[in-house]
Amino acid sequence: MNKRIKILMVNFEFPPIGGGGGKTHLRLLEQFSHNENIEIDVLTSSPKPGLFEESFSNNIRIIKVGIHKKDLHRWTKIETIEWLWRAGKIYKLMINRINYDLAHAFFGFPTGWLCWRNGKKLSYIISLLGSDVPGDNPRFQLDYKILAPLFKSIWKNASILTACSNGLKDRAKRFFPNSDIKVITNGIDLTKFYPTDTNGSENVRLITTGRLSESKRIELLIEALSKMNSLATLKIVGSGSEEARLRNLAEKLEVTERIEFISRVEADQMPEFYRNSDIYVSATSTEGMSNSMLEAMASGLPIVTTEYEGASELVKENGIITKANSESIAKSIDSLIDNPSRIQSMSQVALKLAKQFTWQGVAESYLKIYKEFI
């Protein structure tokens, strides 16, 4: 009889808080919820003060440490410190009372700091997911410089490091060359995300999704819209600190009638947004592995994205990787609009590529690591 594995998972973000990292964690739990050979406790955050416990399934429970959260999509330094302080106490209590086999931290920082502080009591693995790896994200440049020694210590003392893409692994190796990093990609639920059978609208419908942050560079998409030859429309799905500035830019460039700002959308509504679009566009400067891009691919959408580390892992014959300026983005989108057969061809390739990324496969990869470690 196989020993039941007991894991303490830790993540400072979990839906509704955060973005792709929290969603990845949620999908992984959904897979493990059917596995009787694993028992999981999740320590995460809540947007209101207090300590909350939820039953996710018979073998998974979630403990949420509440803080005074102002924005679900953006963490301030004060909020991060508050969560680390409160969650740190709960983490210690949990590992002293329960005999876990290992801890699994989602994000090297801030989450990994809790595991590192208690590494002598409980060994840990870390999933690197994007902004927790020093790179070009403009918001965190000072943090990367100040915290670099701490990051390296947290990584060095981890039993296993994983990255969600080869591009992120390469970035991590540049930061910490001696690290041994395994790649476990994100997945996609093909039962929820699939193409539509209906015809599109008269004008090509563009869509971009995600937090409205500096690293997403949505302004380049708005500027590109004003320079395109066609009268394409753009849906911007998501909210964030950049929204007011982006709305002002759209008004200045006189493209407000062609842009629809849609705030945060519940996960179960997203498939319909993709099915009512024709091309997925992105101007991101940095990614781990884009869940949104995977969702768009599974929905049969061609991709137009700017260059970033690891872009070629998802965008091959199913899209265009272009320079990070509005002129190049506009020309790339126009080149697809002028060639409908190319859009159709890219759509077929997108579907084929998306089938390679399954959450079942992701869960099996992590389970293999757990078993090898134990």
DSSP assigned state of 95: H
- The model's pLDDT over 192-208, given as tens digits with 9 standing for 90+, comes to 999 986 555 678 999 99
Give the tens place of pLDDT for each residue, 138-162: 788 888 899 999 999 999 999 999 9
pLDDT tens, position by position, 48-97:
999 999 999 999 999 999 999 888 878 889 999 999 999 999 999 999 99
Q: How far is CA 363 from CA 1, 34, 112, 184, 370, in A?
A: 21, 11, 20, 9, 10
**Residue 121 parent element (H or E):** none
Centroid of chain to Cα 306? 17
Least confidently predicted of 14-23, 193-202, 206-215, 289-298: 193-202
Q: What average pLDDT score do residues 261-271 get? A: 87
Q: What is the pTM of this model?
A: 0.86
Q: Which two tokens stand for residue 224?
A: 């590109």
pLDDT at residue 315 is higher than 60: yes
Which tokens belong to 358?
């399954």
Copy the structure tokens of residue 249: 């830019």
Which structure tokens are listed for 24?
């990845």
Mean pLDDT of 294-299: 95
Per-residue pLDDT band for 1 (boundaries 50, 70, 90) equals very low
Amino acid at 356: Q
Residue 2 has pLDDT above 80, yes or no: no
Sign of CA dihedral 308, 309, 315, 317: positive
> Is pLDDT of 285 > 90?
no
144 exposure class (CB count in 10 Å sphere: 0-12, 13-18, 19+): middle
**In angstroms, how far apart are the furthest CA atoms of the chain?**
67
CB 345 within 8 A of CB 320: no
The domains located in the chain, with CATH, are 5-187+358-373 (3.40.50.2000), 205-354 (3.40.50.2000)
